Structure formats: C-alpha cells, structure tokens
Amino acid sequence: MAIRAMIEARNLTKYYGSFLAVEKVNFVIKKGEILGFLGPNGAGKTTTMRILTGFIPPTSGEALVAGYDLVGQSIEARAHIGYLPETVPLYTEMTVKEYLSFMGRLRGMKSGQVRERLGYVIEACRLEDYYDTFIGKLSKGFRQRVGIAQAIIHEPDVLILDEPTVGIDPIQVVETRQLIKDLAGGHTVILSTHILPEVSMLCDRVLIIHEGKIVAEDTPDDLGTKLAGVDRVEAEVEGPRSQILEVLKKIRGIIDVTSRPAGKNRNVYRIQAKQGLDLRPTISRTIVNNNWALLNIQLLSMSLEEIFLKLTTEEDLRT
C-alpha cells in the first residue's frame, strides 16, 4: 500500500515585512499520522499553519495538502482541510446547531448534507446537550469543542489544530485530547502546542520549531536519547566518594560524572556516557569489584522538557 503524503511543506518561508517568521521549513506528514508541532511563543507555529490552510500565502516555498498546492489549487486543497485556528471566530448570537450548519454551508455543503452530518459531529464532539445553546453562553472548553466541530463538519481528511487545548480546564483538556485521539484514526492531524506531555500523549511524531526553523524531528520517545547524543546513568553507591568518582571517570565511554549526597556515606552518581553504549553492566561490575555497595542503577532518558529547553537554548544544536 502506498503511503501518501497528506501534508507537505517545501522550503516554506514567510516574511512579515522585513521580519523573517518562518525560514525554509520542510516536512511531510503521511496519511493517518498525528504530528505534534512544538515550539515556544513566537516560534512560527501559527504562521506555518496559516500557510498550510491557505489563510496567508508563503513568501516563498510551497505548501501542499492532499497533493494540492495551497496557492495555485486553493479550493481543492481547502476541501480537504479542517482548521481550528488559534482564536476561533465564533458567532456568539448563533446556537451551536445554527453555527455548525452555517459553517457547513460556507464550505459548500448542501443543507441536506449538513443535516446528515450534524448528528455525527455533535456526538463526536459531545455537544448533544448544547445543540440549541447560544455560543455566547458556552464555557471556553465547550467553545473549543464547537471549534473542533466546525473543523470537521465538511468531512475533511486533514485536521490542522492550532493549540487545541489552550485555556481550558484540566478535565476538559483530558476530554479534548480524547476527542482528538478518536478523530485521529481516519484523519491526518497536525496540532501545535507548547505542552510537552500533550505531544507524548497524542502524537506519532514531533517537529520542534524555534525562531522559524525546524530544530528537531523524531518520535516523542526517541527524541530524548537521540538528541542528547549521550546516555545518562544514575547509580547510587555506598563508599568513598572521591575514589568512586575517580574510578568511574576512567571507564571507557564515560564522558563525565557528577555526584550528589544521598545519605551517610552514600551518593548518587550521575554518569554521562557516549550514546548507545549502555554502560550499566560495566559500571555495576566496577563498583562491585571494588567492594562498594551498589544500591541502585538506572538509565535516564531526557524528558521532553529537557530536550525542548536544550533545543531552544543551545546555539550549537541548531542547524
């Protein structure tokens, strides 16, 4: 089965006046994939998404959805796209039903088609109890659901969600994430966030953008170890600290060792080793052979928080 690229960015570049907001961004999202677009404030997430939805044109480069160019074949491309913008332009004086029907019609659906589709959308977004409620009366979380509902009303196969869980309470965050997960099966999704655990929970792959450039691309799990270029081991040992430090530092493949106290005559040693070596067997043998007591040993992977900070603060890691 051929796996189609549903979203493609080719050298996307966007200047606002003389300000370079997005610089030569390249990525491909395959059919059915959920991609997390992660980056700090001002990184260029919304700008990239606006280009992908045909909202604004790129200064140079190309954006394609379902094979259609967002500039040259915008109508065809947009028919495949459901977009949850950063701030959803909801009409507060319409009921949920009226608004969703309106949005469906706006996207070229016939009123019969809208009627058929509404039931599914209302149920998928768990809006059954709010069908006839004025949008102005809905809480932020429910408005967000209406935002998602309008994004899927015309059965698009690509969803572009700009910070879908921002500003809603923890319970609704959980529900909104579940909703995205449920929708994911049949859709290709790109969602932006600066919430790192969200990426681990929802996404198959993550792109990290910083100052308009992609600085990393990986699965959430692999990002940690691959990016660090080192594996870290923590070992708790009972014995003479300076001697232990000295012996550990001599092991081949170990880059650095630091320690912190963990009780009487006990320390936790944090060991940086060259990537992929897994030095735990060597380290534990060395400790035991020296008659020190090994109380605990574990491999640490970097948390997404650490990676994110590392990527967005360390000059030398950028390409």
Ligand X SMILES: Nc1ncnc2c1ncn2[C@@H]1O[C@H](COP(=O)(O)OP(=O)(O)OP(=O)(O)O)[C@@H](O)[C@H]1O
Neighbours of 296 (CB within 10 A): 11
Least distance to ligand X from the beta carbon of 161, Å?
12
**Which residue is closest to Mg ion by CB?**
46
Show contacts with ligand X in window 180-199 (CB under 6 A): 194
**Ramachandran category for residue 163: left, alpha or beta (phi over 0 → left; psi -120 to 50 → alpha):** left
Q: Which of 44, 54, 82, 224 binds ligand X (CB under 6 A)?
A: 44
Q: Which residues contact 315 (CB under 8 A, 6 or more apart)?
A: none
| Stretch touching ligand X by CB under 6 A, among 14-22, 25-33, 138-146, 173-181 | 14-22
Q: Alpha-carbon distance 18 to 10, whole Å? A: 21
Q: Which of 1, 2, 18, 19 binds ligand X (CB under 6 A)?
A: 19
| Stretch touching ligand X by CB under 6 A, among 15-23, 92-100, 113-121, 300-308 | 15-23
Asked if residue 21 binds ligand X (CB under 6 A), the reply is: yes
84 binds, among Mg ion, ligand X, none (CB under 5 to 8 A by kind): none
Strand-by-strand arrangement of the 5-16 sheet? 19-30, 5-16, 60-65, 68-69
Asked if residue 46 binds ligand X (CB under 6 A), the reply is: yes
Place of tokens 């900070």: 309
Least distance to ligand X from the beta carbon of 18, Å?
10
Asked if residue 160 binds ligand X (CB under 6 A), the reply is: no
Bridge partners, 259 (sequence order): 269
| Stretch touching ligand X by CB under 6 A, among 44-52, 152-160, 239-247, 298-306 | 44-52
Q: Which is nearer to Mg ion, 193 or 225 (CB)?
A: 193
Residues that bind Mg ion (CB under 5 A): 45-46
Q: Which is nearer to Mg ion, 45 or 232 (CB)?
A: 45
Asked if residue 18 binds ligand X (CB under 6 A), the reply is: no
Bridge partners, 267 (sequence order): 237, 261
Q: Are 120 and 154 in contact (CB under 8 A)?
A: no
- Tokens standing for 298? 């574990």
Q: Which residues contact 285 (CB under 8 A, 6 or more apart)?
A: none
Q: Which residues contact 122 (CB under 8 A, 6 or more apart)?
A: 96, 97, 100, 128, 131, 149
Q: Which of 197, 199, 143 is nearest to 151 (CA)?
A: 143
Asked if residue 9 binds ligand X (CB under 6 A), the reply is: no
Asked if residue 78 binds ligand X (CB under 6 A), the reply is: no
Q: Which of 2, 18, 41, 315 binds ligand X (CB under 6 A)?
A: 41
Asked if residue 214 binds ligand X (CB under 6 A), the reply is: no
Sites of contact with ligand X (CB under 6 A): 16, 19, 21, 39, 41-47, 194
